[in-house]
Chain A
């Protein structure tokens, strides 16, 4: 089955700095790569996603880049704010259905 590795597991940055989280996957046929943010006591929230026909996608302070050849994709958060503190998960859809395979998560802490 699909395997998704996510790094780092924890990340501490100063407010205003950038944060980068990286994921690698094993199934070269994967075509959809979402990122989720999970705050304490809540379910994961879809924040951005990318499909294999593009290499980069941006939404305000958040961007995702995809390198299909190397089988890795990254989340970039610029000008971090305390409210960005949360656990972030990358995911890949594997096989014909909707089954998401998740990375292990990154706990991001933004210090004011």
Chain B
């Protein structure tokens, strides 16, 4: 089975712009979660989508949003970019939602905000 794919792998934007990142989960997986990874804050949960519905949301401002499509692919959007949004954005795929379910990560999208 192919793993989790994320596009693009690298992105450079300027402050004030917006960005959309894409994630394709492992075939058959229906849950997609997004995480932000920075040297200072480590790995932090953004949100989880299951069956096109947001199930959980982390402690991030409303500039961060996401959605999931009927084929389980997911996108996340960051509007009005700030320098502090520079990070590695990771997508994780699970066969279902729940507390004891394995999550498999993609390679991430490296976002640099100038």
Interface size class of B (residues with CB under 8 A): 20 to 34
Q: Tell me the dominant secondary structure on chain B's binding face.
A: strand
Residue of A nearest to B32 (CB): A98
Residues of A within 8 A of B106 (CB): 43
A57 and B20 alpha carbons, distance in the complex (Å): 40
A96 and B105 alpha carbons, distance in the complex (Å): 20
Contact A49 B48 (CB under 8 A): no
**Taking the nearest CB of chain A, how far is it from the CB of B52, in angstroms?**
15
Stretch from A68-76, A78-86, A100-108 at the B interface: A100-108
Asked if B43 CB lies within 8 Å of chain A CBs, one says yes
Contact B103 A31 (CB under 8 A): no
The verdict on A98 contacting B90 (CB below 8 Å), with A43-B108, A104-B42 known, is: no
Asked if A55 CB lies within 8 Å of chain B CBs, one says no
Contact of B99 among A31, A36, A42, A43 (CB under 8 A): A31
The verdict on A100 contacting B103 (CB below 8 Å), with A44-B90, A95-B56 known, is: yes
CB contacts under 8 Å to B, within A9-43, are 30-32, 34, 36, 41-43
Asked if B72 CB lies within 8 Å of chain A CBs, one says no
Mask of B79-102 contacts with A, CB within 8 angstroms, 1/0: 000000000001010100111111
CB contacts under 8 Å to B, within A84-99, are 89, 91, 93, 95-99
Asked if A58 CB lies within 8 Å of chain B CBs, one says no
Residues of A within 8 A of B31 (CB): 98
Asked if A67 CB lies within 8 Å of chain B CBs, one says no
Asked if A45 CB lies within 8 Å of chain B CBs, one says yes
